[in-house]
Structure 1
Amino acid sequence: MVLPLHTERLTLSVLTAADRAAFVRYRRDPDVARWQSWSTTYSDADADALLADQPAGIEAGSGRWVQIAIHDAGGDLQGDIAVRALDDQPDTYEIGVTLAPAAHGRGIASEALTAIIDALFRELGAHRVFAVSDARNEPVARLLRRVGFRHEGRNIDADRFKGEWTSLDTWAMLRRDR
């Protein structure tokens, strides 16, 4: 996939060290961290390790995650989209999205996800794009429906997450759905 991608209001590119301060700031926010694998103690060192380990772009079939930065017209980091090309299923991609609290409710996630999903299908020949979310996270459920994902199922108490059993929703779309 050719990055950066440009939308009407956004630029999407691989997260870099220049994004670190804003990235760490929103990852430390309790309302953001609640739904994610990290905690509010996310540090500069954690970000540096992530940046050092990620590929330079989306690598088909690699199984590796890459964080795609979402920048507004002024160059400010609004959030990121994580993308992983599965290594055990051809042309299958998992995505996740995280926004800084100030970016919520402005259509930024919808615009950015739509651009990434379209590029996965158009440029990388994706067959399937999917996401997994905590069943209690209704805002992300609304977002995924809004950009065209179908709810495929719920795994009840399937994940021991941050000290409690949680249920997971799976969302997906196929190339023919676009």
Structure 2
Amino acid sequence: MPTVLEFPLLTDRFVLAPLGAADRTAFTAYRRDPAVARFQSWSPAWSGADTDALLAGQPVRLPSRSGDWLQIAVRERRTSALVGDVAVHALADQPDTYELGVTVAPAWQGRGVGLETLGHLVDALFRQQTAHRIVAMTDARNEAAARLFRRLGFRHEGRAVDADWCKGEWTSLDTWALLRDGRVGSADA
């Protein structure tokens, strides 16, 4: 019988736990950064009220097929500073299938935060949540995200060209996936 993620999740450098009120200021600040928002669904107009609404809608559990998103804070173990967040979405139309997202504050980019935290979260989803499949969608222009998912062992399943109207322009989306049993299949670039 599937269980649910148990927090906190600990990596060598970070603590992962659901985003909370103590994260409000730092979370809002990096979401407002134009470089951080560039390939994300939100804009630099993100506000404290937007953060409050997100926090108010957080689920306490993430059961399979719930359709819920859980925003997970990534805090440095030594200082408890918020360095980014990862998100997990339990897809409503597929059992034991989860979608991931990641955002890293500018001061922490390029320091392996995404690799360390998503790698640990993927392992926890397979072990604790008994996930069958984990997916991610990225803007095709986001080369850093593509490198990250490749390093994590995700297969590039395809590109939907000009498939998403986002921020006043058509963008292409890449789909990435990883299966519990480790099947990789053919990977395309």
Answer whether contact 1:24 1:42 (CA < 8 A) is retained. yes
- CA–CA distance in structure 1, aligned partners of residues 25 and 50 of structure 2: 12
Q: Percent identity?
A: 61
Q: CA deviation at 1:59?
A: 2.7
Please list every run of 5 or more consecutive structure 2 residues that lacks an aligned counterpart in the other structure. 184-189
Alpha-carbon RMSD: 0.9
Q: CA deviation at 1:57?
A: 3.4
Aligned residues: 178
Q: CA deviation at 1:87?
A: 1.2
Q: Give CA-to-partner distance per residue, 1:53-76, whole Å, 9 cap, x none.
A: 110232322101010100002100
The letter for the 2-side match of 1:47 is: T
Please list every run of 5 or more consecutive structure 1 residues that lacks an aligned counterpart in the other structure. none
Q: Give CA-to-partner distance per residue, 1:106-129, whole Å, 9 cap, x none.
A: 111100001110000001110000
SS in structure 1 of the partner of residue 158 of structure 2 = strand
TM-score for both structures, normalised by structure 1: 0.98
Q: Which residue of 1 is the match for residue 18 of structure 2?
A: 14
Answer whether contact 1:14 1:57 (CA < 8 A) is retained. no
Q: Give CA-to-partner distance per residue, 1:82-132, whole Å, 9 cap, x none.
A: 101111100000010000011111111100001110000001110000000
Q: Which residue of 1 is the match for residue 42 of structure 2?
A: 38
- CA–CA distance in structure 1, aligned partners of residues 63 and 39 of structure 2: 26
Q: Which residue of 2 is the match for residue 137 of structure 1?
A: 142
* Large movers: runs of 4+ above 6 Å: none
Q: CA deviation at 1:177?
A: 1.4
